[in-house]
Chain A
Amino acid sequence: MKKRLYSMIVTALVATMMCGCGAQKPNQEPTASQKETETVEQRSTEKAGSGKEEVTFWIRGAETDAICKALQADIDTYNASESGLGHVTIEYVPISDFATKFNTAFAGGTAPDMVDTGVDQISIRAHMGHYLALDDYLDSWESKGEIINGYLLAGKMLDDGKTYGLGYAPTPCVYVWRKDFFEEAGLDPELPPGDWAEMFEFAKKLVVKEGDTVVRGGFSLEPADYRLYTLMARQAGSTLYNPQTNMPELANEAGIRALQYFEDIQPYSIVYNPAPGAKTLRSFLTSESAMAYITTEELSSMLSSDPSLKDKIGVSAYVPAVNGVDSTWCGYRLFAINADSKVKDAAWDAIRYLMTEDSNRNRLENANVSPAWNTLLEEYQEVNPQVNEPAAKAISVGEPFPKTDWMASYGEAIRNAQQEVLYGEKTAEDAMKAAEKMIIMDAELK
């Protein structure tokens, strides 16, 4: 009796363990019975939802973020309308967890139908085949002509020329300065530096030291972040890649010049290099530097938490390089559709709704998001001229990261190069050559 009981228990355990095996791998064609099941489920959904298809939508951030609230309001309106093809369900995913969660979901076949993604991920995922090319949808989109070109180009890849994401919320980096620190240093608080050379001279006057230690920087350098280098390299005239080959081109005159500038201004700067696990604010946000580049989101957050700073902070789009070009870095939040989604048309229908003039106006009014529509640009600048006018300029000349398949290595290469120069291990030229070589070697692994 006991033996029989033990045998049954053991058999049950073994059977339970075997149940976990044999999950469907990605990129595998569903079997005939799975297709049949999906068709039946699809019909059930259609019947249950009055003809609407269920669309899952992952948004990066928290439910309480202003932009998330604005998107939620638009989605609620879309869901309530009778003309929409889909019924959208939102899930909020912390930005730091998004990549891991999406990879897991994609591997398990449970990835969402549409996502809110960023410029650092769009290239990587487009080249992994996660996102659908939207060109067919864009070509037949009646409002396409109303959209600012930068938003349309934000998700367009350099190599195949296809668009895998549609920009809806730019996140430009703007140049900011503390007017009160400028005044203390004898500088005109209303006048930002005219170019890099002047910015260097300003940093010399603005730096506050105790002995050899910089306690308040004239400028803020961030070796752990690659946005600052990217925007300054663009200002100096570097495209960061070779347009003929789409391979990285970092060790050109402009790219080296940008990194050399970091080395030159370092003695008069605060170097912000936090541990990955530390939740610290950038040095400008803690009043530890007089000049910096920060995103408009960070600036808005700073002004919300301390409104008294509103008159103490000056904002401009960027400080141009001497003999540079009219360019800077601008990030974007983009809408993308899962390449494996079974409700692509419904997902596009929801995106189309979120890109209407009304939705853009909703995000502008409730989250101060720069609108994608040309017709709303003036309204955006009038809402908050201090921040939005320079932001609009930065958006108009800004470009995101290089949209290529080697983007996964770009960040690490630039971080290493910045650190090697700031710690005096390499010259700017050697550091950029090493960065370029690293990206090319990684790309050859593909």
Chain B
Amino acid sequence: MKTKVKRKQYVLGYMMAAPFYLIFLFVYLIPILETVWNGFTDKKIFETPNFIGLTNYIRILQDTYFIKSIQNTLFYVVFNLFGVMVIGLSLALLVNSKMVKTGVFRVAYFIPYIASMVSISIIWIWMFDPTKGFVNYLLGMVGVEGKRWLEDPKWALPAIIVMGIWKGVGYNMLVNLAGLQGVPDMYYEAATVDGANRWQLFWNITFPLITPTTFFLFITGMINSFNMFEQVNIMTGGGPMNATTTIVHQIYTRAFLKYQMGYASAESVLLMLFIGFFIFLSFRFGKQGNDLGM
């Protein structure tokens, strides 16, 4: 009797969980497996694919545009991640202090994060306009010559990084703020009694204790940075001279402009392996810290 009741409960439990797993299966797992398979075929968008083994992967090794996109993506990941994390933490420390009105600043810095990337990209196209843009206007006010930001291969990617940092810093600030507010005051009080200055308080107490938060932001920020696409597609189209093309932009170009789905699938698999590799390194060598169990 008890077994029957338990079995009924199990069945009900699995049925409750079934919708999530079915969605996961059909929306994530099966498409991922299909993409991995397509990477070994010459699939075009509307044609029956033929198995071609590793041909796509060998071709990718000779694809100068894809190699360039890897370089651009890594450059973006490093500088964007560094920027949002450092500035995000700095803003969180500022907002956490009694110097500023927390509510107003939190909203002000978070608004760019919740705005759509498409609208933000269009606004920044105007901001970076060489003749009428706000950025060159500000530079002109301090006597610095403006640049042709999105039209200059040297400056196009840094310009996109600046925009990416501006947009993402609010989220980092908010998450860091939550982490900061979880640090017990007693540590600061004890350290202050021992004569620690502000820098020592930050370096020896605050920073170590918010490591779980920092690690979380690092991992999610890295994944998001590797997947950067919208702003490149709208602001530069991957140019000038492929100076801003990223891995996802290359995948998009191959799949939806040239209809080479098999090749694009192979590129997607490589992207997945890149991200997986860097996440593995992060977990292997990074300090994840411990949650404060208080």
Contacts and interface: CB of A to CB of B under 8 A. Distances in A.
Interface string A269-282: 00101011110000
A49 interface: no
Contact of B12 (A3, A21, A106): A3
Contacts of A27: 46-48
A408 B258 contact: yes
Contacts of A107: 45-46
B241 A128 contact: no
Given A276-B234, A445-B263, A128 B44 contact: yes
B15 A442 contact: no
Contacts of B258: 408-409, 442
A107 B45 CA distance: 9
Contacts of B239: 224, 415, 419
Given A224-B239, A276-B233, A445-B263, A17 B23 contact: yes
Given A6-B12, A419-B241, A17 B19 contact: yes
Given A7-B15, A11-B15, A275 B236 contact: yes
Contacts of A416: 241-242
A277 B121 contact: yes
Nearest to A277: B234
B112 interface: no
Nearest to B18: A14
A160 B82 CA distance: 55
Contacts of B126: 278
Contacts of B153: 423, 425
Contact of B237 (A17, A100, A276): A276
Contacts of B44: 128, 446
Contacts of B59: 441, 445
Contacts of B151: 271, 273
Nearest to A18: B22
A218 interface: no
Contact of A21 (B26, B150, B234): B26
B122 interface: yes
B237 A224 contact: yes
A293 B21 CA distance: 57
B237 A275 contact: yes
Contact of A277 (B122, B240, B241, B260): B122
Nearest to B153: A423
A14 B45 contact: no
B257 interface: yes
B235 A276 contact: yes
A412 interface: yes
A320 interface: no
B235 A223 contact: no
B22 A17 contact: yes
Interface residues of B, number: 44
A420 interface: yes
A445 B47 CA distance: 14
A309 interface: no
Interface in B95-128: 118, 121-122, 125-126
B72 interface: no
A263 to B, nearest CB: 14
Interface in B142-166: 150-151, 153
A13 interface: yes
B28 interface: no
B234 A423 contact: no
Interface string A380-414: 00000000000000000000000000001100100
Nearest to B130: A213
B16 interface: yes
A10 interface: yes
A387 B15 CA distance: 71
Contacts of A278: 122, 125-126
A122 B266 CA distance: 28
A445 B241 contact: no
Interface string A420-434: 100101000000000
Contacts of B242: 416
A278 B122 CA distance: 7
Contacts of B18: 10, 14
A17 B26 contact: yes
B51 interface: no
Nearest to A223: B240
A419 B240 contact: yes
B293 to A, nearest CB: 35
Interface string B36-65: 000000101111100000000001001101
A301 interface: no
B234 A128 contact: no
B190 to A, nearest CB: 52
Given A128-B259, A419-B240, A275 B42 contact: no
Contacts of B47: 27, 128-129
Contacts of A420: 241
Interface string B252-275: 010011111011000000000000
A278 B126 CA distance: 8
Interface string B9-38: 000100110110011001000000000000
Contacts of A441: 59, 62-63
* Most chain A CB atoms below 10 A, which of B48, B63, B239: B239
Contacts of B234: 275-277
Contacts of A103: 45, 256
A243 interface: no
Contacts of A3: 8, 12
Contacts of B15: 6-7, 10-11, 14
A322 to B, nearest CB: 29
A275 B22 contact: no
Contacts of B42: 445-446
B256 A273 contact: no
A11 B263 CA distance: 39
Q: What 7 A-B pairs are tightest by C-beta distance, nearest first?
A: A277-B234, A276-B237, A419-B241, A10-B15, A275-B125, A408-B258, A273-B151
Given A277-B125, A423-B241, 7 more contacts: A6-B16, A103-B45, A106-B46, A276-B234, A438-B65, A442-B260, A446-B44
10 contacts: A7-B12, A223-B240, A277-B118, A278-B122, A408-B259, A412-B257, A419-B239, A419-B241, A423-B240, A445-B260
